[in-house]
Amino acid sequence: MEDKIINEQDLENWRRTHYSHQVNGSTIDKLIIIMGWISSKRDHGNVLFIQLRDKFGDIQIVVKKGKENSENRVFDILKNLKEHSSVGIKGKVVEQKKSPNCVEVIPHEIKVLSVSAKSAPFLTNSISTIGIDTRLELRALDLRRNYLQNIFRIRFTILNSVREFLTKNHFIEVNTPKMISTATEGGAALFPIFYYDKEAFLAQSPQLYKEQLTMAFENVFEIAPIFRAEPSRTNRHLSEAISIDIEKAFVNYYDIMDLLDELISYIILRTKEVNSIELKNLDIELSEIKIPFPRHTYSELIDKLQKSHKYIRWGDDISPKILKDVIGDDFYYIVDWPLSTKPFYVKSKINSDAAVSKSDSPVDSSESENMMVSESFDLMFGPLELSSGSTRVNNKNVLLDSMKKKGLNSAAFDYHLRVFDYGIPPHAGFGLGLERLIMALLKVENIRDTTFYPRDIDRLTP
């Protein structure tokens, strides 16, 4: 059957009088204007049942083929409009015990604001079996789906609760440059850009700037994109992710882990308070968490892992896959990582026992250096790394030495090093991946579904 051409109209003086959640028993018999998009449609021949969705939910519209011309105009239009089309409906509220809000709307007039020209590959209530790439190609439409609506409403609560918590704890929100001249996170690759006639990079993290800002503000945080040229295709890496970064003066990594424990606990508490409906829709029960989260040293874990994985050596990174063998699916820390695995700004742990306990024979100086431990932690959820943090080097000579050992050209960091001549306080902090946290809390399989427009090695649009 050929599609009937339906003309789109301007909004003109039509304005919504009620959102869906305001249409209830108290509006019975009132003439109202509602606006939204058609989320579903049931066609019973001479009767149509339409769900009109707005940002608060659905309202049922029932339209019968009538005797009057105006009624038939509304009927004909709604009969031919496809799901996802946007309309305004002027109509009367009537009681309907069987509908979810116990009312429905009988339309008198319709304004077609935007016609969905094609049948969409998914509807708002699709539990998608459609591949993620097809969905991402039409992301704005995909984001209308109930599943993602629930996730992104909770995401908003998480961000609000981070700001609430850190504000209460006397942090100030800062913004640092995203176009920068030097790398900070050794392992992660950079995106080069042209900056006028110079080479520059997209920031891998706000690391050096947030450290510097402890000089002026003591406690700072930033919620902003970080850019990582990740060559791999995994379900937990993005090329552009949102990092919740904090930095605090006059503390060390133990204090920062205490703070992170409390932050996670507050996020969970607020999400349960604000998003009980979304959590129910997602079938997620956020159970009570016990803080402090367990803290396992890197060396302890390596000892445990070596029992089943003989090839693992002290100093190796720990792959998420094998971690599953020794740890359950919950929050915990891995602390005191080998200094060699951490970036140059991470402080070494003085009086560390690790170098001694890991070697029976006397060690030469280069070997003992390789065995050095750092004041660092990763917060994990099962095999997923959520956050890294550490106490930072705050002595210029130590920092210079550390750069040298990592093969970095200290001259390129002059803009940073010169600050260390003026009494930068001892400080520590963490970076917490927002998307990873959402994955952990809401059991989302693919990190791409925790961000609006994911960027990865294969995707630069939409």
Would you tell me which residues interact with ligand AMO (CB under 6 A)? 185, 188, 205, 207, 228, 230, 237-238, 241, 243, 245, 385-390, 429-431, 433, 435-436
Which residue, chain included where needed, has tokens 């695995």? 341
Asked if 334 contacts 326 with a C-beta cutoff of 8 angstroms, the reply is: no
Sheet containing 331-335, strands listed edge to edge, beginning at the edge strand earlier in sequence = 172-173, 219-227, 240-249, 427-433, 384-391, 376-381, 331-335, 295-297
Which CB sits closer to ligand AMO, 47 or 457? 457
Shortest distance in whole angstroms from residue 142 CB to ligand AMO: 20
Is residue 272 left, alpha or beta, with left meaning phi > 0 and alpha meaning psi from -120 to 50?
Answer: alpha
Shortest distance in whole angstroms from residue 15 CB to ligand AMO: 42
Shortest distance in whole angstroms from residue 309 CB to ligand AMO: 23
Which residue, chain included where needed, has tokens 């943090």? 389
Buried b (16+ CB within 10 A) or exposed e, 196-220: eeeebbbbbbbbbbbbbbbeeebbb
Which CB sits closer to ligand AMO, 51 or 451? 451
Shortest distance in whole angstroms from residue 237 CB to ligand AMO: 4
Cα–Cα distances in angstroms (integers) from residue 396 to residues 20, 343, 345, 404, in the given order: 60, 15, 10, 12
Task: Using CB positions, name the residue nearest to ligand AMO.
Answer: 433
Shortest distance in whole angstroms from residue 171 CB to ligand AMO: 14
Asked if 11 contacts 89 with a C-beta cutoff of 8 angstroms, the reply is: no
Shortest distance in whole angstroms from residue 234 CB to ligand AMO: 9
Which CB sits closer to ligand AMO, 36 or 343? 343
Residue whose C-alpha is closest to residue 173's, from 227, 203, 217, 226: 217
Q: Is the peptide bond before 462 cis (omega within 30 degrees of 0)?
A: yes
Which CB sits closer to ligand AMO, 60 or 387? 387
Asked if 257 contacts 250 with a C-beta cutoff of 8 angstroms, the reply is: no
Which CB sits closer to ligand AMO, 205 or 271? 205
Q: What is the DSSP string of 336-377?
A: S-BGGGS-TTBPB-TT-SHHHHT-SS---HHHHHHT-BBSEE
Which CB sits closer to ligand AMO, 83 or 230? 230
Residue whose C-alpha is closest to residue 256's, from 91, 403, 389: 389
Which CB sits closer to ligand AMO, 144 or 237? 237
Q: Which two three-digit tokens encode residue 27?
A: 């509006």
Which CB sits closer to ligand AMO, 37 or 333? 333
Which CB sits closer to ligand AMO, 271 or 391? 391
Shortest distance in whole angstroms from residue 226 CB to ligand AMO: 6
- State how far the Cα of 441 lies from the Cα of 331, in Å rounded to an integer: 10
Q: Which two three-digit tokens encode residue 38?
A: 């058609």
Shortest distance in whole angstroms from residue 444 CB to ligand AMO: 13
- State how far the Cα of 117 lies from the Cα of 122, in Å rounded to an integer: 14
Shortest distance in whole angstroms from residue 376 CB to ligand AMO: 8
